[in-house]
Structure 1
Amino acid sequence: MKNYPVLLLTLLLSAFFVSACSDHDSARTPAPPPPPPEPVFDPQATFRYDTFGDEALWTDVLRYHEVVATISPETALAVGLKVDAEALPPGILETADLTDPATTVALLELDAVVGINAEVAADGTVTSFGITCALCHSDVDDSVAPGIGVRQDGWAATDLDPGLILSLSPYFDDKPDQRAELQSWGPGKYDPYWNHDGISDPVVIAPAYGLRDVALETYTGEGPVSYWNAYVAVTQMGGQGTFVEPELNIEVHADPDLVTPKLPALLEYQHSLEAPVPPAGSYDPEAAERGRVLFTGKAGCEGCHSGPRFTDANTTLHEAHEVGADPLYATRTITKRYRTTPLRGLLQHPPYYHNGEFATLADVVEHYDLVMNLGLFDEEKSDLAEYLKSL
């Protein structure tokens, strides 16, 4: 006969001792706390407002917090800076003095100057100054006044003069040759290798829209979008992050890294920016249709400008002589070749080619007709240019 009371007592005692031992062990070795959650970065805010800590360059070295306090909005607009109308209190522009540098400081305090993030003390002193991606890759629609309107993120800042803006820094007071070089670049151009190799050969600022499904960014296809974002953030903007490229002898590390964790958010926002639709009346639809037939046929443009983004950059880069391009810029890069530029939104960012040597799309067509020996008639060239405007 089974002794159920004894068995039950044994089980209860076992459970008690197991529980007691478990509690004792837990008291001695508490479970480790859960890891902190990964930071979440807002994609749009990263693009528009994040300096990645580049105040270390723009404030500490270039002393631009001092410079900007002496610049009027009138002058700022003249060098291509833009004002975000949606950041302004109603009616402020009706009374603002656009010739007074104090108005510039007030705009900075409102976060209304596109691509600039500054801190302003209670007494109106600008204490820090940094730049963001939006400085070169956003525009405004001029709906309030020239240079003042609603943001157009991803659009190339074609009238921004980065070289002139840089040259105003006191850092260049004892470097007249470098200052003169910067001032020679002109609006809408920048050289992202000049501070490494000392060669001045600026390229046209490119749009940041229409990059989804485009594997390689930049005119020379150095790498995917996030590679170039890291390069620019660290080596050009002065952000505090990590970028390593042995072929260019670049190795930069920062702790904490204020760039790398934000690259996915930045990429997400860029991929959300589609190329703008051509404005009504900006091209002749009938001529554009004839141009489309030429594009895919006689002119052979589709051989390189293929797929929905009109580029073969996902699989191919081209030697300079293939497209009649100046080889100098490519020789300074890791690929030594050029990427086929995506064509969507082409109408919005003249001049064309990496160095801006062609003022109009008609000039581009004329160039390819000569280089490729296409034998196009004048009317065909005109139709092809109209098609490019329609993309």
Structure 2
Amino acid sequence: MLMLVSFVGVLLVLLAAWVAFSATSAQSEDRNQQLLEEGRQTFRYDTFGDEVFWGDTLKLHQAIAGEALGGVGPGVSPNTALSVGLKVDAEALPADLVEQISAGEVNLDDPATTLALLQLNAVVGVTGFFDDTGNLQSIGIQCALCHATVDDSFAPGIGKRLDGWANRDLDVGAIIALSPDLTFFTDHLGVDDATVRQVLNSWGPGKFDAELVLDGKATRPDGSSAATLLPPAFGLSGINLHTWTGWGSVTYWNAYVANVLMHGQGTFYDPRLDNAEQFPLAAKAGFGHITHSPDLVTPKLPGLLYYQLSIDPPPAPDGSFDAEAAARGEELFSGKAQCSTCHVPPLFSEPGHGLHTADEMGIDDFQAMRSPALGYRTAPLAGLWTHMEGGFYHDGRFATLEEVIGHYNVLFSLGLTREEIFDLVEYLKSI
């Protein structure tokens, strides 16, 4: 009898433990799902309060509205917005509006239509703030502005969201240059208005200079723009260093961009920016010691990171590469070409501290010297097919993948033939 009682007691203890574990597991799953949804919302729609900069300071909203609608200048029509790479979320459009656009009944050359799209929250990465009478009062931006696009399923530039994709159509500099008041930049950089606009317009589609406000270097030594390509924000799970030059982790860069570049109202600390020799403008402005109350950024970082890490690289579409050549290229990738030495599958980057000197890569060190890491990150290659516009490497210096492989073929004396280079290109397009 005592043995039976003891056995029953053990069963009850195990049952209680299982119930407790199940409850904890369910709570954990609920919390994970909550983080995912919070992160998606942040990525797509949260301005972090940056409208105080883009609207109140630069007055960008006035240029968007145009003089006829209470702003300045001709205004920005949907066609103009699409021409500089802005995207429209088709799923945010009411059915009747979709029908009207399809029938050609909506004037896409009228800034009033742009304001209507902003009121629908349909412009990817941009939020308009309106008063009770429908007048545009301010404008803010989100992560999705640069790191999302659409599938063009409705029309070019209009479709379903593709979060994490680099928007290589987006001319960030041209958009900023629309602002009526660039006093922040003229004062910060110590140059006149015309020079600021010239620099901004020199970036071109798919590029942004994330270090300009830190060091004031608008051009490379050869006189070309110092802007770098917008990277994707997918495939980051397992990746340690973020950005072309390894500034820090993904969540570090989120905090940096939200506070320093987007001008969100949060908290940011990085004493490396106190280095007045490397970052004279950042040190003077105190960019490494930003505080705001209330903090509109920091509470959003956990969910934002969780969502970003959940975005897998999209698989290459069928027919977008030569499958037989890609199979041969895969063997070369891990064999004769030695690509997998640094681009280790399945990350296609280096586990750990994947950073290399300019000499190791056979290129100049200009961009590396603009980072406290003083090197170049081994960029992950998965999903490469989504962002082949604008060239390759951090600044697009190589126009094609053939040129990239050709560079390493010479640098490392690989002895790759023209056919083998073709096979490698097809493999890179497939991963």
Give me the TM-score of the superposition, normalised by structure 2. Answer: 0.80
Query: Which moved further from structure 2: 40-49 or 71-80?
Result: 40-49
- Could you tell me whether the CA contact under 8 Å between 2:171 and 2:207 is conserved in 1? yes
AA in 2 matched with 1:167: A
> What are the equivalent positions in structure 2 for 1:33-72 lying under 5 Å apart?
42-69=38-65, 70-72=75-77
Partner of 2:424: 384
1:319 to 333, 341, 357: 357
1:76 to 70, 73, 81: 81
AA in 2 matched with 1:338: Y
> What are the equivalent positions in structure 2 for 1:183-198 lying under 5 Å apart?
183-198=201-216
How far is the alpha carbon of 1:122 from its aligned partner? 4.0
How far is the alpha carbon of 1:261 from its aligned partner? 1.0
How far is the alpha carbon of 1:146 from its aligned partner? 0.5
- Could you tell me whether the CA contact under 8 Å between 1:109 and 1:118 is conserved in 2? yes
1:224 to 238, 246, 249: 249
AA in 2 matched with 1:383: D
2:414 to 347, 370, 374: 374
Distance of 1:313 and 1:118 partners within structure 2:
41
Query: Which moved further from structure 2: 139-148 or 350-359?
Result: 350-359
AA in 1 matched with 2:292: A
AA in 2 matched with 1:181: V
How far is the alpha carbon of 1:98 from its aligned partner? 0.3
Distance of 2:364 and 2:321 partners within structure 1:
30
How far is the alpha carbon of 1:358 from its aligned partner? 1.6
How far is the alpha carbon of 1:323 from its aligned partner? 1.2
Aligned pair in 2 of structure 1 residues 313, 164: CA closer, same or farther (>3 Å)? farther
Partner of 2:374: 336
AA in 1 matched with 2:329: G
Partner of 1:237: 262
> Cα deviation per residue 1:217-236 (whole Å; 9 max; x = unaligned)?
11111111110000000000
Partner of 1:305: 343
> What are the equivalent positions in structure 2 for 1:125-164 lying under 5 Å apart?
125-164=135-174
AA in 2 matched with 1:116: V
Partner of 1:281: 319
AA in 2 matched with 1:81: L
How far is the alpha carbon of 1:361 from its aligned partner? 1.6
Does 2:404 match 1:364?
A: yes
Distance of 1:326 and 1:159 partners within structure 2:
27
Counterpart secondary structure, 1:328: coil
Distance of 2:429 and 2:422 partners within structure 1:
11
Distance of 1:177 and 1:63 partners within structure 2:
19
Partner of 1:265: 303
- Could you tell me whether the CA contact under 8 Å between 2:49 and 2:265 is conserved in 1? yes
Partner of 1:8: none
- Could you tell me whether the CA contact under 8 Å between 1:317 and 1:338 is conserved in 2? yes
Corresponding pairs, count: 353
How far is the alpha carbon of 1:324 from its aligned partner? 2.1
Counterpart secondary structure, 1:305: coil
1:107 to 114, 117, 134: 117
- Could you tell me whether the CA contact under 8 Å between 1:313 and 1:340 is conserved in 2? no
- Could you tell me whether the CA contact under 8 Å between 1:221 and 1:313 is conserved in 2? no
AA in 2 matched with 1:373: S
Distance of 2:354 and 2:380 partners within structure 1:
13
How far is the alpha carbon of 1:42 from its aligned partner? 1.2
Counterpart secondary structure, 2:56: coil
- Could you tell me whether the CA contact under 8 Å between 2:409 and 2:416 is conserved in 1? yes
How far is the alpha carbon of 1:255 from its aligned partner? 1.1
- Could you tell me whether the CA contact under 8 Å between 1:216 and 1:313 is conserved in 2? no
How far is the alpha carbon of 1:314 from its aligned partner? 2.1
Counterpart secondary structure, 1:117: strand
Give me the TM-score of the superposition, normalised by structure 1. Answer: 0.88
Partner of 1:35: none
Distance of 2:151 and 2:177 partners within structure 1:
27
Distance of 1:295 and 1:91 partners within structure 2:
51
- Could you tell me whether the CA contact under 8 Å between 1:283 and 1:386 is conserved in 2? yes
AA in 2 matched with 1:369: N
Distance of 1:251 and 1:156 partners within structure 2:
29
How far is the alpha carbon of 1:325 from its aligned partner? 2.9
Partner of 1:346: 384
Distance of 1:186 and 1:365 partners within structure 2:
25
Distance of 2:425 and 2:200 partners within structure 1:
33
> Cα deviation per residue 1:90-122 (whole Å; 9 max; x = unaligned)?
141232110000000000000000000112234
AA in 2 matched with 1:302: S
> Cα deviation per residue 1:197-223 (whole Å; 9 max; x = unaligned)?
111211100000000111111111111
Unaligned stretches of 5+ residues in structure 2: 1-33, 66-74, 184-191, 219-225, 275-287
How far is the alpha carbon of 1:313 from its aligned partner? 5.1
> Cα deviation per residue 1:266-296 (whole Å; 9 max; x = unaligned)?
0011011111110111111111111111111
Does 2:230 match 1:212?
A: no
- Could you tell me whether the CA contact under 8 Å between 1:313 and 1:339 is conserved in 2? no
Counterpart secondary structure, 1:59: helix
Distance of 1:240 and 1:172 partners within structure 2:
20
Partner of 1:177: 195
Distance of 1:315 and 1:182 partners within structure 2:
33
